[in-house]
Structure 1
Amino acid sequence: MMKLVLFTSRSSLPVKFANHGRNNGRYELVVKSPDAIGQRDDTNFDFCYLDISGLDEGFCKRLIKKIRTAYPLRPWGILDLDGESGDPAWFFHEGAADYLGPGCAAEGFTSQRWKRIQEYLSAQGSEASSGTSVCGISSPEDRTFAGWKSIKSGTIFPFYILYIGPEHEGGIKTSLGEKRFGELQNRLQQYLVQLFAPVDALLWMQSDASFLFLIPPEKARATQIIEACLRLALNGPLISYERLLLDFSLPLVCALHYGEIPFQPPGKTGTLVADSLNFIFHLAHQRAEGGRIVLSEEAAGAIKPELGDLFVPIEAFEGKKLLQSKRFL
């Protein structure tokens, strides 16, 4: 059953909208205050809506930005039962996937709309898993993934491997001091684990405030990771201030590769040796730049075709072609 979250300041909703679909098992509707946007327990849903009733334009835009930052892997829409917006198209330009106008107050959340949302989510998944290449680079075939517990220690298995951490980490650690750097490390870990949870990413290794995540070998999941990293770069200053509680913007280094490793559970990787691990660490430390994501040719095929213009080829590294995202100004 699909779970919808509605962020609203209303004390009550129109009866048809509130109840339609609840009783026939099509979806679960959870109503929350806009103040709840970004809370840790708010990531377990399929689609969220923001009710713009009574919101001034500036506050509405801030809430939309907050939704995009807090839930970069979740589609969102607008509830405008009173028809207050004079330009609904603006929401779609900002990335909205649905707009519920005044007609929904009388009609409720209809089966036709439910069907369109399901089609939208399905289209997103199939779009991400298509074999279209970007810059002439194709992605590897998906592998069946039955969950982390299904992989036995020592099994050689392919993964998308994501390195992410602060640029100039040593200097930041010195300037912040041990206590504040430890707080940054904990906040960044919590934020990234929450951010990548929808694709079942596994926090596999950690060194200070730098992290190595394993992503199941399915291109649709890697596509979502790439989009999340792009949003991290775009929203870096806001995330630094609001989520990491820093008084400066923290550029993050992001590097993504696809390769095989002999799997070991987190905490038991000390003696592990693999070419793919050597490559991702070399790539992150020698070629990656803060505020941008660099991808090996094995991982670059997971870029959505419509996002291809955001990436440019750069000089090959250790015999592999690379793509790097353009810098957001």
Structure 2
Amino acid sequence: MIVHIFSTAKGIEKNFDAVRKSKKYDILVSPPSGIKTILKKAPIGSMVYLDISSLAKTEAAQALKLLAKQDSCRYGIIDPRGSAVDVAELFHNGASDYIGATLLKKGVQPKRLEAIAKFKAMESTDETQPAVKKKYTPSGKDWKGIIQGKEYTFCFMFVELDNKNELKGGGPEQFGRISSSFRSYLENIVTPFSGKIWMWMDFGGLILFPFDGKKCDAIEAAFRLMINRMLMSAELIHLDINLSYRIAMHIGNTVYKAKGNTGTIISDSINSVFHLGQKYAEPGGFYLTDEIFRFAPGGLMNHFVPAGKFEGRNIFRMKRLT
């Protein structure tokens, strides 16, 4: 596959060394001024990256419009200066990837391109009605600017224990200890990522994370929950029970209300993540909708594989831990 990079940055091809060395891709670098001509000749299915730091603001906007209109190549954005105001909008307009300064410095890996190819292949073969995607209203990096009663875009994490009968079999006192310990453990994991337990039932609940429109580090919190599950079972609960739980994550909109006042909220996004977690997710699994998968930290994307379609959305599942 051809990977065409439009940039004037000196040595930018070195950031794609791992891709080149895989021998699966041919790396070509050209100045952005030639993007229109080259796109017309590019083989169908090529991957195109535009370095928007190589263009003036108006020129970058024109190039992005050109990329959004074409349908023969997958395309991504290189943004070493973080100048993109709304990364979510880039994806809405058809972008397949976004590479910021940190990821560019680490170097792009071939598995990233493979994941993009799989994701876009699922989109292109989709013959069902796509899920409705509302316009995002980023809630920010933290909770400072979030006002009750207003609608924002959040990252949603649904978590629920699997082995309900076994857990309740020890009696209400033991189950109360388990539920309380589980909730405390969740809070310890999600708080550093600005997560808040927003709704809570006996066996789990919904955790809310602010979303800035650029990335969703909250996925790392869920990843930690998965890899630390056995440690939690052994060291936190102190019972002869191996805890199993399902996690489902999604990005969407909801009116924000304080915890305890959420009973009247009507949100398709909340319904979607609950349905995914309760009706589709298998015990012990961690699932992402396509909307949130696009914003996964680069190092975690390779840990997920396509897991079919649910309610009009492409779903990704974390690979089994071995």
Q: TM-score, normalised by structure 2?
A: 0.56
Shift in Å at residue 154 of structure 1?
Answer: 2.2
The number of equivalent residue pairs is 203
Separation in structure 2 between the aligned mates of residue 279 and residue 141 of structure 1, nearest angstrom: 16
Shift in Å at residue 241 of structure 1?
Answer: 1.1
- 1:31-42 to 2 correspondence within 5 Å? none
Runs of 4+ that moved beyond 4 A:
124-127, 131-135, 137-142
Q: Pick from 140, 143, 149: which aligns with 1:148?
A: 143
Are positions 1:189 and 2:183 aligned together?
yes
Give 2:6's aligned residue. Answer: none
SS of 2:320's equivalent in the other structure is coil
Deviations 1:19-72 (A, max 9, x none): xxxxxxxxxxxxxxxxxxxxxxxxxxxxxxxxxxxxxxxxxxxxxxxxxxxxxx
Shift in Å at residue 151 of structure 1?
Answer: 2.5
- 1:44-59 to 2 correspondence within 5 Å? none
Indicate if the aligned counterparts of 1:226 and 1:303 stay in contact, CA closer than 8 A.
yes
Q: Pick from 191, 198, 207: which aligns with 2:201?
A: 207
Indicate if the aligned counterparts of 2:155 and 2:250 stay in contact, CA closer than 8 A.
yes
In structure 1, what residue type is equivalent to 2:305? Answer: V
SS of 1:267's equivalent in the other structure is coil
Separation in structure 2 between the aligned mates of residue 126 and residue 154 of structure 1, nearest angstrom: 40
Separation in structure 2 between the aligned mates of residue 156 and residue 285 of structure 1, nearest angstrom: 25
Give 1:62's aligned residue. Answer: none
Structure 2: where are the runs of 5+ without partners? 1-100, 107-111, 124-132
Give 1:293's aligned residue. Answer: 286
Q: Pick from 268, 274, 283: which aligns with 1:275?
A: 268
- Shift of the 221–275 alpha-carbon distance from structure 1 to 2, 3 Å rule, reads same
Shift in Å at residue 244 of structure 1?
Answer: 2.2
Give 2:8's aligned residue. Answer: none
Deviations 1:48-104 (A, max 9, x none): xxxxxxxxxxxxxxxxxxxxxxxxxxxxxxxxxxxxxxxxxxxxxxxxxxxxxxxxx
Q: Pick from 229, 233, 249: which aligns with 2:242?
A: 249
In structure 1, what residue type is equivalent to 2:320? Answer: R
Give 1:178's aligned residue. Answer: 172
Shift in Å at residue 147 of structure 1?
Answer: 4.2
SS of 2:160's equivalent in the other structure is strand
- 1:41-80 to 2 correspondence within 5 Å? none
Give 1:123's aligned residue. Answer: 102
- Shift of the 233–125 alpha-carbon distance from structure 1 to 2, 3 Å rule, reads farther
Give 2:308's aligned residue. Answer: 315
Indicate if the aligned counterparts of 2:119 and 2:306 stay in contact, CA closer than 8 A.
no
Deviations 1:116-158 (A, max 9, x none): xxxxxx937998xxx9984437999783527435323221110
Indicate if the aligned counterparts of 1:252 and 1:290 stay in contact, CA closer than 8 A.
yes
Give 1:160's aligned residue. Answer: 155
Deviations 1:204-253 (A, max 9, x none): 00001302111111367623x32332232223222111012231211111
Q: Pick from 216, 229, 232: which aligns with 1:236?
A: 229
Separation in structure 1 between the aligned mates of residue 215 and residue 274 of structure 2, nearest angstrom: 21
In structure 1, what residue type is equivalent to 2:159? Answer: I
Shift in Å at residue 282 of structure 1?
Answer: 0.6
Give 1:136's aligned residue. Answer: 119
- Shift of the 265–123 alpha-carbon distance from structure 1 to 2, 3 Å rule, reads same
- Shift of the 125–222 alpha-carbon distance from structure 1 to 2, 3 Å rule, reads farther
Separation in structure 2 between the aligned mates of residue 264 and residue 325 of structure 1, nearest angstrom: 31
Structure 1: where are the runs of 5+ without partners? 1-121
Indicate if the aligned counterparts of 2:138 and 2:154 stay in contact, CA closer than 8 A.
no
Separation in structure 2 between the aligned mates of residue 176 and residue 220 of structure 1, nearest angstrom: 45
Separation in structure 2 between the aligned mates of residue 231 and residue 125 of structure 1, nearest angstrom: 24
Q: Which piece of structure 1 moves more, 205-214 or 240-249?
A: 240-249
Q: Between the two proteins, what is the percent identity of the paired residues?
A: 28
